[in-house]
Amino acid sequence: MAIRALIAVALLALVAPAASAQTASTPRSALLQQATLFKQAKWRTMYGTYTARFRRSCPYATFVQRQRQTRQILGTDFRLTGIQVKRETASRAVVAYRFVKNGRTVAQVTLRDRDVYTRIGTRWFDELDRVSTC
């Protein structure tokens, strides 16, 4: 009986991120959702905003460790500005943006950097790429 309960909890943990990530109807909204979840340290939900391909390459524990390290450096009082979306196909887009803190750009992702977002069904997810890596 205890094993069944553990399996049920594990399955819910796998399903819950995808369900809560379903609000991203555009690549831009996916990016902004990730920034909000990052600021709130909602790592499990944020992990669900990435594709299955990304999650296969980046175990959850490693993902959380990297996000916490980044959060220590970047903090939570940044804004994303200059968001540009270049749709390559109906289900693939590249996104560019700047992290601005205290009125200064502290980091920038350009279209050339190729931060790829993929549409699965009607929702957009962050794909494994040079920017979104583990």
Minimal CA–CA distance to 32: which of 43, 21, 44? 21
CA angle 103, 126, 105 (to 5 degrees): 15
Per DSSP, 112 falls in state: G
CA 49 – CA 58 distance, rounded (Å): 13
- pTM for the complete prediction? 0.81
User: pLDDT averaged over consecutive 10-residue blocks of the chain (134 residues)?
Assistant: 32 38 83 97 98 97 97 95 98 98 96 97 95 84
Asked if residue 76 belongs to a domain, the reply is: yes
Asked if residue 28 belongs to a domain, the reply is: yes
Asked if residue 132 belongs to a domain, the reply is: no
Q: For position 10, what pLDDT does the model report?
A: 33
Range of the domain at 110: 2-126
Q: How many domains does the chain have?
A: 1
Helices (H), 21-113: 27-40, 43-47, 52-57, 60-74
- Give the CATH number of the domain where residue 30 resides: 3.10.450.100
Asked if residue 121 belongs to a domain, the reply is: yes
Q: For position 2, what pLDDT does the model report?
A: 34
